[in-house]
């Protein structure tokens, strides 16, 4: 019985993997030298730091994303579509079901990372230039209103439509900038938003404010192309733009306030063409747009 017990003990000792031999795989220098040298035991309590060269250098940002040639292959699977109704943006949530799809689409490099200079990329992401659906949602009510105000039998004013398209791009970017500046402390604690330029430290709040001033200056140049009535009406929308990011702190209905903000172009487009407002036409268009926004932003909030 004693000899049988000793035999079993020796067999178990040979089959049991030791912690020393497991860790030696990590510390081996290369495949060529590992075959000739004996296993090395890791004794340093900070041995994880030896693996730091395997991770990307984040430079001056905690979560800076460097595009590699391998990551560029993800662009072949990048297919933005009209179904992306998000009015704000960030990095997709990598938890839960659909994790792999979110990593490939939301977490991969965008055209900003590939084509724009490195110094401009944080500002382009702050303005959500890689998420154009928000600009479309802001521009559509303007285009509807301009079309309704056009002379029967004639096409809409393309110059006016182009001005409002550029204005929608600038105003949406300014709204996103205000949102990120006000929520920068909260965004760091949310998986979906922690990689935003201000929250991640890629841009300082002062740089964000300067960029906001630049966007508003360009927007002012567009506003001055309109008539005096439209200038006052357009400037009044800034109150909604700057106060909207705070509504989620004071009310459970920020989507309704977003509807009031995003559809202001339904009023402004008509006045830019006619020089005044016709309540019988523009108010039904405006409030129908408000409820339309309430629907799609509620869907986005649940997603």
Query: How far apart, in Å, are the Cα atoms of 286 and each of 28, 134, 200, 270?
Result: 68, 17, 37, 11
List of domains in the chain: 118-302 (1.10.357.140)
Q: What residues contact residue 165 under an 8 Å CB cut-off, 6+ apart?
A: 139, 142
Report pLDDT digits (tens) over 134-192.
999 999 999 999 999 999 999 999 999 999 999 999 999 999 999 999 999 999 999 98
- Residue 204 backbone dihedrals phi, psi, to 5 degrees: -85, 160
Q: Give CA–CA dist 16/22, Å, rounded.
A: 11
Q: Give CA–CA dist 35/173, Å, rounded.
A: 58
Report pLDDT digits (tens) over 2-35.
444 544 454 444 444 443 444 343 444 444 444 4
Q: What would the mean pLDDT of 224-241 be, rounded to a whole number? A: 94
Q: Give CA–CA dist 238/222, Å, rounded.
A: 14
For the chain, the average pLDDT equals: 76
End-to-end CA distance of the chain: 66
Report pLDDT digits (tens) over 108-138.
788 999 999 999 999 999 999 999 999 999 9
Q: What is the pLDDT of residue 109?
A: 83
Query: How far apart, in Å, are the Cα atoms of 43 and each of 36, 38, 40, 125, 244?
Result: 21, 15, 9, 44, 55
């Amino acid at each position: 019985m004693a000899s049988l017990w000793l035999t079993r003990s020796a067999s178990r000792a040979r089959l049991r993997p030791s912690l020393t031999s497991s860790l030696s795989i990590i510390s081996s220098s290369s495949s060529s030298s590992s075959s000739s040298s004996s296993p090395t035991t890791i004794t340093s309590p900070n041995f994880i730091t030896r693996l730091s060269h395997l991770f990307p250098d984040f430079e001056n940002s905690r979560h800076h994303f460097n595009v590699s040639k391998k990551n560029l292959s993800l662009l072949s699977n990048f297919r933005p579509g009209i179904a992306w109704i998000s009015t704000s943006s960030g990095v997709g949530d990598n938890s839960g079901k659909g994790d792999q799809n979110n990593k490939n689409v939301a977490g991969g490099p965008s055209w900003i990372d590939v084509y724009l200079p490195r110094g401009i990329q944080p500002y382009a992401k702050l303005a959500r230039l890689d998420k154009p659906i928000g600009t479309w949602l802001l521009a559509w009510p303007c285009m509807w209103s301009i079309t309704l105000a056009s002379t029967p039998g004639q096409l809409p004013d393309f110059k006016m439509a182009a001005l409002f398209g550029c204005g929608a791009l600038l105003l949406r970017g300014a709204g996103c900038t205000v949102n990120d500046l006000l929520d920068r402390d909260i965004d760091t604690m949310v998986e979906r938003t922690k990689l935003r330029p201000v929250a991640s430290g890629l841009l300082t709040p002062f740089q964000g404010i300067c960029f906001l001033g630049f966007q508003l200056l360009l927007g002012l140049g567009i506003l001055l192309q309109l008539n005096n009535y439209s200038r006052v009406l357009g400037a009044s929308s800034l109150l909604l733009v700057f106060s909207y990011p705070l509504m989620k702190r004071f009310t459970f209905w920020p989507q309704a306030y977003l509807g009031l903000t995003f559809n202001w172009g339904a009023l402004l487009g008509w006045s830019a063409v006619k020089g005044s407002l016709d309540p019988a036409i523009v108010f039904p268009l405006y409030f129908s747009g408000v409820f339309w926004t309430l629907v799609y932003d509620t869907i986005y909030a649940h997603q």
